[in-house]
Structure 1
């Protein structure tokens, strides 16, 4: 019963759309076609952009996890290394 009702609704809808399209001028039909194509292309581009954004975010997250070192940490390591070097140089009597 449901399948029959759905089929009848589709036929009625298709007939209604066909009647509306048949009443369009050539310019109106061209505008309708361009609008449909524009909307389809926009949807494709938006899906592509969303996918690319996810890839970019994933790459930055990977880099953040891999190279997460602050400037303060780098400077601290440098200072400790410089102090150790000074200690070695004093031990060798270079300073």
Structure 2
């Protein structure tokens, strides 16, 4: 008796899942049909827009678009090169930067050393 009840519950669960699957399948088919209709409408709108535009205006729009694309590409390369130059300058600064105080300390140390040598030689 318990086995029959379990089998009935499993069958009902399978039917529920099957109904949900069927509903999802139907929704998928409807969405695909809607997508095809939208694409067709888009093609019709594009064709209508093409009919309204004369060749000179189309040429101007295309040239403007290509000009914007060219300027954007140029600016992106320019920014990349500017960043590379900035990094190179920062590396050079970090490597070779010396403060005036450091130079004066080295000078004073060299003067003291030179005075020591001159003193040993009897010139001071």
- TM-score clears 0.5: yes
Shift of 1:34: 0.8
Q: Which runs of 5+ in 2 are unaligned?
A: 1-27
- 1:39 counterpart (65, 68, 90): 68
Per the alignment, do residues 85 and 39 of structure 1 end up closer, same or farther by CA in structure 2, a change over 3 Å counting? same
Larger radius of gyration: 2
Shift of 1:8: 5.0
Q: Which runs of 5+ in 1 are unaligned?
A: none
Return the TM-score normalized by structure 2.
0.63
**Number of matched pairs:** 94
Partner-residue secondary structure (3-state), 1:69: coil
Considering fraction of residues, name the structure with more helix. 2
- 2:57 counterpart (13, 20, 28): 28
2:109 and 2:91 map into 1 onto residues whose CA distance is 29
Match for residue 113 of structure 2? 84
Show structure 1 runs of 4+ deviating over 4 A: 5-11
What is the CA RMSD across the aligned residues, in angstroms?
A: 2.2
Shift of 1:75: 2.2
1:7 and 1:78 map into 2 onto residues whose CA distance is 83
Match for residue 73 of structure 1? 102
Shift of 1:76: 1.8
